[in-house]
């Protein structure tokens, strides 16, 4: 079964393997398969589920809500997000304005078929809206009981500090950060993680397997496997492109001896690796088949000895991205 970890300096426990439905539900896979994946997650002991209003323009939330219908609500931890364009893309259908936040939480709850979400996250930082307006809206969402906790996604260290200061003044706290993080993408380590530790947040990381590259199925000099994310024209191919070069793929293959020594797969090694970071509360994993969920949960509880962590660093060498400035670049300068 999957281990639990506390989320930030809160009393909320979440499963350290969290099921997410970005790029899959309402898009890549049929609804019956998506439901089977959610049920496989539940059967494996996962009780934490991550989605967003922008995923498949709301369809992902609907699919997840339907798949979870009939489960004891109190036994689940459900996360969603707000920022990116939803609906028809009108002038106020994006960002962290009070209008968009208040309308978006209502839309998300309707699609999920729930009275509240456990965690409501700012999907990016909004440079066009005063931060005071955003944080006041989140405070009101919490007071209305529509979200129990508030988090952020891809915020810089300074943005986290500024947001937390306002949150405290308004009587609530930010408890989580949701950044991209993997063996290959470590841009949060120098600034975001220290700021989060200082401010009482922990990480719920996305793409711990680097969009599938760390499974080892992409080989240098070879075409991408049929049906893989790299061949998905609905968006998957764009997200994985940065990792698909022979230098990266060659170095990923050098991780096989480490995985073999631990008796786990490369994918399990990748998920276990992010969980070695004590500021990481959970790794989000997706799936297009129930078997993928069953395999990924085996990373829970795996301890990677220090000498093997060093071996991983040596195998990957300089293909690892560490530039802290890339977090800021993930939020659009205007909307």
* Per-domain boundaries in the chain: 4-329
Cβ count near 105 (within 10 Å): 23
Does 237 have pLDDT greater than 70? no
pLDDT of residue 48: 98
Per the prediction, the chain carries an average pLDDT of 94
The confidence band for 67, taking pLDDT boundaries of 50, 70 and 90, is very high
Q: What is the pLDDT of residues 92-117, one digit of tens each?
A: 999 999 999 999 999 999 999 999 99
For the record, the structure tokens of 306 come out as 């220090």
Q: What is the pLDDT of residues 74-98, one digit of tens each?
A: 999 999 999 999 999 999 999 999 9
Strand partners, 282: 204
Percent of the chain with pLDDT over 70: 95
The confidence band for 233, taking pLDDT boundaries of 50, 70 and 90, is low
201: left (phi over 0), alpha (psi -120 to 50) or beta: beta
Note whether 215 and 208 are within 8 A (CB). no
For the record, the structure tokens of 253 come out as 């293959």
- Out of 12-16, 82-86, 232-236, 246-250, which region has the weakest mean confidence (pLDDT)? 232-236
Q: How far apart are CA 55 and CA 332, in angstroms?
A: 18
Which pTM value belongs to this model?
A: 0.95
Q: How far apart are CA 8 and CA 280, in angstroms?
A: 9
| Positions marked catalytic | 55
List, in order, residues 6 or more apart from 42 with CB less than 8 Å away.
71
pLDDT of residue 227: 60
Give, to the nearest 10 degrees, the angle between helix 246-253 and helix 306-316. 150
Q: How far apart are CA 161 and CA 101, in angstroms?
A: 21
221: left (phi over 0), alpha (psi -120 to 50) or beta: left
- What would the mean pLDDT of 121-135 be, rounded to a whole number? 98
Q: Which of 295, 300, 236, 254 is nearest to 274 (CA)?
A: 300
Note whether 172 and 301 are within 8 A (CB). no
Q: What is the DSSP letter of 148?
A: E
For the record, the structure tokens of 33 come out as 């398969």
Return the CATH class of domain 4-329.
alpha beta
Cβ count near 216 (within 10 Å): 19
Q: What is the DSSP letter of 126?
A: -
């Amino acid at each position: 079964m999957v281990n639990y970890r506390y989320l930030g300096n809160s009393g909320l426990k979440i499963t350290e393997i969290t099921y997410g439905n970005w790029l899959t539900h309402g898009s890549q896979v049929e609804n019956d398969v998506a439901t089977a994946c959610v049920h496989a997650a539940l059967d494996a002991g996962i009780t934490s589920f991550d989605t967003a209003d922008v995923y498949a323009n709301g369809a992902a939330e609907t699919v997840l809500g339907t798949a979870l219908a009939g489960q004891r609500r109190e036994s689940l931890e459900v996360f969603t997000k707000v920022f990116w364009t939803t609906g028809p893309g009108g002038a106020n259908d994006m960002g962290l304005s009070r209008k968009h936040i208040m309308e978006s939480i209502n839309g998300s709850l309707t699609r999920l078929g729930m009275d509240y979400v456990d965690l409501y996250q700012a999907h990016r930082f909004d440079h066009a809206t005063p931060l005071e307006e955003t944080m006041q809206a989140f405070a009101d969402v919490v007071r209305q009981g529509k979200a129990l906790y508030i988090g952020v996604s891809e915020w810089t260290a300074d943005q986290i500090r500024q947001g937390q200061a306002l949150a405290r003044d308004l009587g609530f706290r930010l408890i989580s950060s949701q950044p991209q993080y993997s063996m290959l993408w470590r841009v949060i380590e120098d600034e975001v993680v220290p700021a989060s530790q200082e401010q009482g947040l922990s990480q719920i990381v996305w793409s711990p397997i680097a969009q599938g590259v760390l499974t080892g199925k992409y080989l240098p000099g070879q075409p991408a496997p049929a049906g893989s994310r790299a061949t998905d024209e609905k968006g998957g191919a764009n997200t994985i492109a940065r990792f698909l070069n022979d230098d990266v793929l060659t170095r990923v293959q050098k991780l096989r001896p480490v995985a073999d020594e631990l008796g786990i797969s490369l994918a399990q090694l990748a998920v276990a690796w992010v969980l070695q970071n004590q500021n990481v509360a959970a790794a989000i994993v997706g799936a297009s088949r129930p078997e993928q969920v069953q395999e990924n949960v085996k990373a829970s509880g795996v301890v990677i000895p220090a000498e093997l962590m060093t071996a991983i660093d040596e195998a990957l060498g300089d293909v690892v991205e560490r530039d802290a400035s890339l977090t800021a670049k993930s939020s659009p300068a205007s909307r």
